[in-house]
Structure 1
Amino acid sequence: MKRKYLYLILSPLVIAAAFFAVSALPDKPKAKPIDDKSILAVEVEYAKPQTLQNNIEVTGKLKAKDRYEIYAEVEGRLLPSAKKFREGNYYKKGQVLLQIDKQERYMTLLADKSNFMTSLTAILPDLKEDFKESYLSWNQYLKDLDIKKSLKALPEPKTEKEKYFIAGKGIYSSYYSIKSAEEKLSKYTLYAPFSGSISKSNVEAGTAVRAGQELGEMVNLSSYELEVTAPLKDIEHFKIGNEVKLFSSELKGEWTGKVIRVGNTLDANSQSVKVYIQTSGKNLKEGMFLTAQVNSESYDEAIQIPRKLIFDNNQIYIIKDSKLALQSIEVMETFKSDAIVKGVPAKSAVLMTNIKNPYTGMKVQVLNAQ
């Protein structure tokens, strides 16, 4: 019983002591109200208007400007030559490339010329009798005729009667048959049309070739042609005669080219036009890729900014007094992901952060303030 009364007396004392202990603790700080209108942090660039140019770059494959496909126009056995007709071998202009055996054709031609001489000899008496004014010309022609040389032009008849007489004796038909055979005989030897190298060889010495057979291919290594496709919006910078810079991603160095042709048709899918650039130089090889670089016109008092920051074709945002403000601009040229624009005052803080739903007067905090 005494213990029960003791609990009743101590309990209020414990509760009172706990109350005074809690009251003695420091006050808990009050939470600040949350501002749901937080200020957005952005980055800017301070405008420094200057003279700017756009470097337009297009890439294409290099080809030899002069390419000569070699075909046989006659048939026969291919003769061995001092220099083997192999890929990579170099020939000077006029040097013999290939020779086809022409001995049989040559002998036939000599026989035809001998018969022609006989025909001329047979008509001389009649010419002396009936066409005295032409006799000396024909007689001299016969004296000068050498069957091992190409036939010279026949003397001109002085009258219609003489012309019919010469034709009636078969002189004209024999003459033109021989000239045709001489022309065909010249095709048994093939000469280099320019100085260059063999890029393809399809034949071996000793093999028989037929008329129309492809024997190989020759290219001129002193001059190349670069075919590129230029966007339609940039085609005005690729005018015939304009010089362009050329460079390779694989080789060091730089070359100079000149625009020689511009295509007249537009690729509907890519909206581009073909441009042909002539060039030459050390280390250039057919088939390599080159990039052509040409400068656009110069723009004074201009800056370069990302295209994504331009809206309504002529508006950007700048920062004034920590707020967004509209700035009208003039877009001079666009390329890749950037644009060259004019109309931005010097030292203006141009917004560089892409903001969702921006508006004039929107408060922002500049991270990279001057």
Structure 2
Amino acid sequence: MSDSTVDVTKKHHSFGRKLKYGIGFSLLIVLIIGGMYWKKVSNKPKEEYSQWSKPVPVRIVPVQRNNLDVEIKAIGTVIPVHTVNVQSQVSGVLQRVHFKEGQWVRKGQLLAQIDPAPFIVALAQAEGTRQQNLAQLQNAENELSRYQLLFKQDSIAKQQVEQQQALVNQLKGQIQSNRAQVDAAKLQLSYSKIYSPIEGRVGFKQKDVGNLIQANESTALVTITQVHPIYVQFAIAENHLAGLRETIKSGQQVKVSAWDKAEQQQLAVGHVQALDNQIDVSTGTLKLKATFDNRDDRLFPNQFVNVRLNAQTIQNAVSIPSDAVQHGAKGTYVYIINKDHKAEIRSLKLGLSSNGQIEVLAGLDGTEKVVLEGIDRLSDGKEVQIISDEQKHRPVTESATG
């Protein structure tokens, strides 16, 4: 190998080493600069931002101070004022039925006819016996008159007169008994016609024409219910008893309204008729009976209805919506909004509730505003943003430039 070739090779290796060292040095410079930049960036203070740090949007309602009508809700059963099971008082064949099932009948209206033939015969027999005894009595009285005349003439003994007088008295007693037998036969004959004892609506008949009816049997011929007026029976908790009794003692009628099962339609309006004489110890409730005119037949016997009872009126009561009340370890409380637009906790002592409103006995004076919605994000001293009903229901629109 020539010397020139060796020199070229040495130069080539020397250039390669210099190039490698240059690249490594450049990478080292880049790493140093990058590290310094990262340190600078990482040490820069971060901007504090959190959705929870913003004021909490809430909806508020003012505390009310007015008369609070305490309304009690219960489940009631419609019951007739009178229910009569019509039965025959005599035995016989059912001859005719004078009503239609479900028909409205008046008091004293003829409902059915039992075959009267046996009772007509019994009446005739009783009257015949009475006439026979009347004839014997008349003859005995005539004999007594003759005996008394003969006794005055001293023609017969006094004993004969007394015996004849006794016979007359005996026949008079028989006549009185005969009269009672005739009246009994007439009464039995009258029982062959069955009349309605009350005004009301008849149900389904239980006996068809041609059947033998037994007197006072367990199965009634038909049932009649009086529904004008009509009762609704229900029960309330015993803690409402004191206020209810005070209202009744004051002479006021306690209003009661009956609603359908869905509580969407009011069926009738009435008033409390009577309170039971004792509390049911097993349930802690008191039974009440309310009366309704029911001329439109909206209430039907044995129907279940929802009852709303206006038990009492609390004058000048401080009240708030029941949904605003919170329950915690320290008792019941609400959030109010102070003048700095911050939430503040107020502990409460509560009274009776009605129609979504609850009476506040202590804790509020009636001038505050309580939080109704947005409570889950609130805490004592938290700043709030009050949302009006218009803002709450305002539709959200997209920005045209967004």
| Superposed pair shares fold, TM > 0.5 | yes
Q: Distance in 2 between matches of 1:315 and 1:100?
A: 75
Cα deviation per residue 1:6-50 (whole Å; 9 max; x = unaligned)? Answer: 322443244235534665787343346899x97995846343323
- C-alpha displacement at 1:351, in angstroms? 5.0
Partner in structure 1 of residue 78 of structure 2: 62
Q: Distance in 2 between matches of 1:58 and 1:165?
A: 70
Cα deviation per residue 1:86-105 (whole Å; 9 max; x = unaligned)? Answer: 42123222121011112122
Does 2:199 match 1:179?
no
Does 2:231 match 1:219?
no
Specify whether residues 59 and 66 from structure 1 end up closer, same or farther in structure 2 by C-alpha distance, changes over 3 A only.
same
Q: Distance in 2 between matches of 1:169 and 1:234?
A: 66
Amino acid across the alignment from 2:319: I
Amino acid across the alignment from 2:303: M
Cα deviation per residue 1:274-317 (whole Å; 9 max; x = unaligned)? Answer: 11112122142323333332322133151223285367778655
Structure 1 contact 237–294 (Cα < 8 Å) conserved: no
Q: TM-score, normalised by structure 2?
A: 0.69
Q: Distance in 1 between matches of 2:370 and 2:145?
A: 102
Q: Distance in 2 between matches of 1:163 and 1:226?
A: 65
Amino acid across the alignment from 2:308: Q
- C-alpha displacement at 1:108, in angstroms? 1.9
Moved more, 25-34 or 280-289: 25-34
Cα deviation per residue 1:38-76 (whole Å; 9 max; x = unaligned)? Answer: 799584634332313232222312222121101122111
Q: Percent identity of the aligned residues? A: 14
Structure 1 contact 243–258 (Cα < 8 Å) conserved: yes
Partner in structure 2 of residue 117 of structure 1: 131
| 1:364 aligned counterpart, secondary structure | coil
Specify whether residues 212 and 15 from structure 1 end up closer, same or farther in structure 2 by C-alpha distance, changes over 3 A only.
same
Specify the structure having the higher radius of gyration (Cα). 2
Q: Distance in 1 between matches of 2:365 and 2:334?
A: 12
- C-alpha displacement at 1:249, in angstroms? 4.4
Structure that is richer in helix per residue: 2
Specify whether residues 315 and 281 from structure 1 end up closer, same or farther in structure 2 by C-alpha distance, changes over 3 A only.
same
Aligned pair partner of 2:235 in 229, 234, 238? 229
Amino acid across the alignment from 2:326: L
Q: Distance in 2 between matches of 1:10 and 1:244?
A: 99
Q: TM-score, normalised by structure 1?
A: 0.74
- Unaligned 5+ segments in structure 2 are 1-12, 147-164, 389-402
Q: Give the alignment of 1:187-336 within 5 angstroms.
A: 187-213=191-217, 214-235=220-241, 236-237=243-244, 239=248, 241-249=253-261, 252=265, 254-279=267-292, 280-284=294-298, 285-295=300-310, 296-306=312-322, 308-309=325-326, 318-320=336-338, 321=340, 322=342, 324-327=344-347, 329=349, 331-334=350-353
- Unaligned 5+ segments in structure 1 are 133-160
| 1:297 aligned counterpart, secondary structure | strand
Partner in structure 2 of residue 4 of structure 1: 17
| 1:80 aligned counterpart, secondary structure | strand
What's the Cα RMSD here?
3.9
Number of residue pairs matched?
335
Q: Distance in 1 between matches of 2:134 and 2:102?
A: 51
